[in-house]
């Protein structure tokens, strides 16, 4: 498969790290005990949206089949019946998607009114109906209230799948009316096997690490000029420490690479550096982007020095993580200011 053709929709759920959630819903489906509404919650890049779409098709499939995923038999849509064909083409009248419209920042009340009409309408195929609400935390206040009404008056035939990377931002009353399905980052070996089978190349660990072990994010990174931006940024902070670049020069790079990516690179790199500092071993020699940075740190025989460097690195790592949260928060963060403060702290950091 060509990397540029990757999109989350190129794959079928359940992905190997979604088996528990998939089995839970499959059991409920088989027993006729699916909840009216589910909230699929967890970080971005874990394939929640893909899961919702695939499960919606499973619910409507006329002759579901089984397949083996990571050694387990799971119930999946056949892919051939009339419902599957329409579902795969994205035009099944009994499956609807609500998402933020282009040019808008929120899901609006009109969209939820439309959803409410869908809920009470009878099914075209005579079976279940499914409404998927993407980025449910982006419902505006009125839309959330309207959705609440729909959640309070369930229609037996209709199921709602709300998907959110930030479930904590969802109105509590809406959240409490959904059964929560938590998605966790996979074990390293699971993610590595999955990604390795698709990409078939060697820098998979770097991609997974930089994506915080979120495989679909890693895949997106593999397809773009992201690796290049990463190398560029890591080189620039290395140059800062060597006096070859000013803080301002490094700062100028960050909007181009993207502040949240830059903080991600920095966080991943600091974790490595802390380990290196404490153990003296280069955790991964095959990543050239880190090579220069390791040389900044001279392992000392003095335990106290080592401990003190490791402590300040750990403290800085905490600050970077905090900055990442700030940047991702809804409260209009100032990326320039955040980056200035972080890079200034880096320039002041004692590494020996
Ligand atoms: Zn089917």
pLDDT in tens, 54-99: 999 999 999 999 888 888 889 999 888 999 999 888 889 999 999 9
Q: How far is the CA of 136 from the centre of ligand 1 (A)?
A: 28
Q: How far is the CA of 89 from the centre of ligand 1 (A)?
A: 13
47-61, 107-121, 214-228: least confident range: 214-228
Q: How far is the CA of 86 from the centre of ligand 1 (A)?
A: 10
Does residue 121 sit within a domain? yes
Question: Could you tell me if 176 and 273 lie in one domain?
Answer: no
Domain count, the chain: 2
Tokens 């802390």 locate to 274
Q: How far is the CA of 52 from the centre of ligand 1 (A)?
A: 16
Q: How far is the CA of 308 from the centre of ligand 1 (A)?
A: 61
**Domain span holding position 76:** 3-182
Question: Could you tell me if 56 and 130 lie in one domain?
Answer: yes
Does residue 42 sit within a domain? yes
Q: How far is the CA of 15 from the centre of ligand 1 (A)?
A: 19
Q: How far is the CA of 208 from the centre of ligand 1 (A)?
A: 34
Q: How far is the CA of 151 from the centre of ligand 1 (A)?
A: 28
**CA–CA separation, 57 and 44 (whole Å):** 22
Q: How far is the CA of 215 from the centre of ligand 1 (A)?
A: 27
Q: Which CATH number covers residue 336?
A: 1.20.272.10
Q: Note whether 147 and 176 are within 8 A (CB).
A: no
Q: Which CATH number covers residue 99?
A: 3.40.50.300
Mind listing the pLDDT tens digit for each residue in 238-273? 999 889 999 999 999 898 888 888 998 898 888 888
pLDDT exceeds 60 at position 284:
no
Does residue 67 sit within a domain? yes
**CA–CA separation, 126 and 166 (whole Å):** 34
Q: How far is the CA of 113 from the centre of ligand 1 (A)?
A: 30
State the sign of the Cα–Cα–Cα–Cα dihedral 336, 339, 345, 346.
negative
Mind listing the pLDDT tens digit for each residue in 140-180? 999 999 999 999 988 888 999 999 999 999 999 999 999 99
Q: What share of the chain is helix, strand, coil (3-state, %, to 5)?
A: 55, 10, 30
Q: How far is the CA of 71 from the centre of ligand 1 (A)?
A: 22
Question: Could you tell me if 160 and 229 lie in one domain?
Answer: no
Does residue 193 sit within a domain? no
pLDDT of amino acid 285: 53
Against a cut of 0.95, is the pTM above it? no
Question: Could you tell me if 251 and 120 lie in one domain?
Answer: no
Question: Could you tell me if 174 and 86 lie in one domain?
Answer: yes
Query: DSSP letters along 103-131, please?
Result: T-SSB-HHHHHHHHHHHHSPPSSSS-EEE
Name the domain boundary from 112, 147, 182.
182
Q: Note whether 309 and 317 are within 8 A (CB).
A: no
Mind listing the pLDDT tens digit for each residue in 188-219? 999 999 998 888 776 788 888 878 899 998 88
Name the domain boundary from 131, 147, 182.
182
Does residue 200 sit within a domain? no
Estimate the crossing angle of helix 303-328 against helix 335-348, to 10 degrees.
180
């Amino acid at each position: 498969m060509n990397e540029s053709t990757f999109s989350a929709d190129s794959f079928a759920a359940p992905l190997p790290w979604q088996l528990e959630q998939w089995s839970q819903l499959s059991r409920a489906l088989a027993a006729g005990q699916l909840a009216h509404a589910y909230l699929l919650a967890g970080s971005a890049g874990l394939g929640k949206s893909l899961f919702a779409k695939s499960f919606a098709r499973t619910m409507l499939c006329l002759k579901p089949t089984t397949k083996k995923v990571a050694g387990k038999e799971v119930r999946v849509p056949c892919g051939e019946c009339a419902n599957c064909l329409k579902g795969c083409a994205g035009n099944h009248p009994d499956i609807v998607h609500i998402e933020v419209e282009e040019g808008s920042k929120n899901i609006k009340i009109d969209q939820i009114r439309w959803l409410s009409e869908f809920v009470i309408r009878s099914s075209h195929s005579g079976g279940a109906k499914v409404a998927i609400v993407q980025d449910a935390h982006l419902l505006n206040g009125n839309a959330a209230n309207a959705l609440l009404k729909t959640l309070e008056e369930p229609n037996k035939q209709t199921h709602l799948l709300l998907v959110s990377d930030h479930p904590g931002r969802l109105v509590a009353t809406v959240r409490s009316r959904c059964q929560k399905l938590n998605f966790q980052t996979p074990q390293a070996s699971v993610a590595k096997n999955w990604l390795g089978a698709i990409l078939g190349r060697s820098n998979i660990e770097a991609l997974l690490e930089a994506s915080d072990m979120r495989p679909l994010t890693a895949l997106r990174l593999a397809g773009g000029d992201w690796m290049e931006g990463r190398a560029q940024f890591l080189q620039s902070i290395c140059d800062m420490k060597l006096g070859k670049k000013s803080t301002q020069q490094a700062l100028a790079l960050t909007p181009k690479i993207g502040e949240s990516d830059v903080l991600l690179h920095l966080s991943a790199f600091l974790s490595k550096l802390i380990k290196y500092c404490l153990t003296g071993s280069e955790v991964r020699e095959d990543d050239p982007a880190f090579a220069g940075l390791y040389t900044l740190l001279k392992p000392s025989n003095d335990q106290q020095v080592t401990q003190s460097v490791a402590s300040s690195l750990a403290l800085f790592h905490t600050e970077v993580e905090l900055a990442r949260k700030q940047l991702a928060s809804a409260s209009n963060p100032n990326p320039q200011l955040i980056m200035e403060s972080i890079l200034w702290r880096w320039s002041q950091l004692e590494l020996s």
